[in-house]
């Protein structure tokens, strides 16, 4: 089983985790990693919005699947478009890590104590919009690079604070640098944040069987609800959409947050459904958002509200 992965320290840590899970589930299975450079990796100085497409960290991995260099690709699920094109399939979602974002600041100041005009780094329109919704006096600036690069930029004083995913820091053993965990009511994470997605070819029955042993049912249901919300809104990775679903007590609870770029308008919805019906929960949340005026915040959807909900 050859697993394709990006080459960053975080991507390699995630792929090694999946490899270890496969070896445990299937004793005797030979597993190795193949590093694939993606367009998003090659052009690290460009803002992600400049790529103008979904899946900037995905395409080359899918090409490697198609030409047989790898049998499966390990992704941060939030990088994977909510609709996979043929002939690909989401074979497994292992148990999800912490889905929250966190603030790391110089002087260990929490968000509420950052001085007016403080410069906060993030490459995510979602994070930028939700930061400005809480603190419109902050200056939000783009930041690119892997985790170590971003931490170094903070240390050099290029930023007063940065926002990162808790899961990535934990997987790298760097959660000690966290100043403040940002709770979902303050900063709702990206669709699929904290989860890994293992992609393979839909027709590769052997790979599907091997990988499905790693699937964690509650995590799968949660992220499928979030991805259904994104699909229903036709949202891409540059849409300032946050979503978090949690399965507990036999129910699936989904929170969605969509903000204007400047944070002045934010729509938050909550819906409840069954873990066995994540698609329905996501579509219900999308319908609620559209009823509350999400169309103008989505831009490209103003003329087509509801087209994915029929």
- CATH number of the CATH domain containing 131: 3.40.190.10
Q: Can you give the pLDDT at residue 299?
A: 81
| 85 and 107 together in one domain | no
Q: Can you give the pLDDT at residue 84?
A: 96
Q: Where are the beta strands (DSSP E) in 38-94?
A: 72-76, 88-92
Distances (CA, A) of 194 to 62, 154, 165, 190: 21, 23, 8, 9
Distances (CA, A) of 268 to 37, 84, 307, 309: 36, 26, 21, 19
- CATH number of the CATH domain containing 239: 3.30.160.40
For the chain, state the CA radius of gyration: 19
| 263 and 211 together in one domain | no
Q: Determine the angle formed by the axes of helices 147-155 and 9-25, rounding to 10 degrees.
A: 140
In 3D, which of 46, 9, 33, 37 has the Cα closest to residue 146?
Answer: 9
| 113 and 167 together in one domain | yes
pLDDT tens digits, the chain, 310 residues: what are they?
999 999 999 999 999 999 999 999 999 999 999 999 987 665 555 554 544 455 678 999 999 999 999 999 999 999 999 999 999 999 999 999 999 999 999 999 999 999 999 999 999 999 999 999 999 999 999 999 999 999 999 999 999 999 999 999 999 999 999 999 999 999 999 999 999 999 999 999 999 999 999 999 999 999 999 999 999 999 988 899 999 999 999 999 999 999 999 999 999 999 999 999 999 999 999 999 999 999 999 984 433 344 445 4
Could you say which of 41, 45, 67, 79 is catalytic?
79
Q: Can you give the pLDDT at residue 38?
A: 84
Q: Can you give the pLDDT at residue 7?
A: 95
Is residue 220 situated within a structural domain? no
Is residue 309 situated within a structural domain? no
Is residue 65 situated within a structural domain? yes
Is residue 117 situated within a structural domain? yes
Q: Can you give the pLDDT at residue 49?
A: 53
Q: Can you give the pLDDT at residue 237?
A: 80
| 30 and 74 together in one domain | yes
| 177 and 110 together in one domain | yes
Q: Can you give the pLDDT at residue 42?
A: 57
CA dihedral of 134, 120, 181, 115, whole degrees rounded to 10: -70
Q: Can you give the pLDDT at residue 203?
A: 98
Is residue 303 situated within a structural domain? no
Is residue 188 situated within a structural domain? no
Q: Can you give the pLDDT at residue 300?
A: 47
| 42 and 119 together in one domain | no
| 108 and 176 together in one domain | yes
Taking the C-alpha atoms of residue 56 and residue 43, their distance in angstroms, rounded to an integer, is 10
Number of domains into which the chain is organized = 3
Taking the C-alpha atoms of residue 93 and residue 23, their distance in angstroms, rounded to an integer, is 16
Is residue 173 situated within a structural domain? yes
Q: Can you give the pLDDT at residue 51?
A: 42
Residue 35 pairs in a beta bridge with 5
| 152 and 273 together in one domain | no
Q: Can you give the pLDDT at residue 308?
A: 43
**Residue 18 CB partners (closer than 8 Å, separation 6+):** 3, 74, 94, 196, 198, 214
Is residue 187 situated within a structural domain? no
Task: Centre a 10 Å sphere on the Cβ of residue 304 and count the other Cβ atoms it contains.
Answer: 11
205 is catalytic: no
| 109 and 89 together in one domain | no
| 203 and 255 together in one domain | no
| 124 and 261 together in one domain | no
pTM (global) more than 0.75: yes
| 247 and 174 together in one domain | no
Q: Where are the beta strands (DSSP E) in the chain?
A: 2-5, 32-35, 72-76, 88-92, 101-105, 119-121, 139-141, 161-165, 180-182, 196-201, 241-248, 251-259, 266-273
Domain that holds residue 160: 101-182
């Amino acid at each position: 089983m050859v697993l394709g992965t990006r080459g960053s320290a975080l991507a390699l840590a995630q792929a090694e985790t999946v490899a270890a899970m496969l070896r445990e589930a299937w004793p005797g299975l030979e597993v190795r990693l193949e590093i694939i450079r993606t367009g998003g990796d090659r052009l690290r100085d460009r803002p992600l919005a400049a790529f103008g497409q979904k899946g900037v960290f995905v395409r080359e991995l899918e090409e490697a699947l198609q030409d047989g260099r790898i049998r499966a690709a390990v992704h941060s699920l939030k990088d994977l478009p909510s609709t996979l094109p043929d002939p690909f399939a989401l074979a497994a979602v292992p148990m999800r890590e912490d889905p929250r974002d966190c603030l790391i600041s110089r002087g260990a100041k929490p968000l509420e104590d950052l001085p007016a005009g403080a410069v906060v780094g993030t490459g995510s329109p979602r994070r930028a919009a939700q930061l400005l919704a809480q603190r419109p006096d902050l200056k939000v600036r783009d930041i690119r690079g892997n985790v170590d690069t971003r931490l170094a930029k903070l240390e050099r004083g290029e930023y007063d604070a940065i926002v990162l995913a808790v899961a990535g820091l934990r997987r790298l053993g760097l959660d000690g640098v966290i100043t403040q965990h940002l709770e979902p009511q303050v900063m709702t994470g990206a669709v699929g944040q904290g989860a890994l997605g293992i992609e393979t070819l839909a027709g590769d029955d052997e790979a599907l069987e091997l990988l499905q042993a790693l699937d964690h049912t509650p995590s799968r249901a949660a992220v499928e609800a979030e991805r259904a919300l994104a699909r229903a809104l036709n949202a891409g990775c540059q849409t300032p959409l946050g979503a978090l679903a949690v399965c507990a007590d036999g129910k699936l609870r989904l929170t969605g947050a969509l903000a204007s770029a400047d944070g002045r308008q934010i729509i938050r919805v909550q819906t409840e459904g069954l873990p066995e019906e994540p698609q329905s929960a996501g579509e219900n949340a999308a319908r609620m958002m559209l009823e509350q005026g999400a169309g103008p915040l989505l831009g490209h959807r103003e003329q087509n509200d509801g087209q994915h909900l029929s």
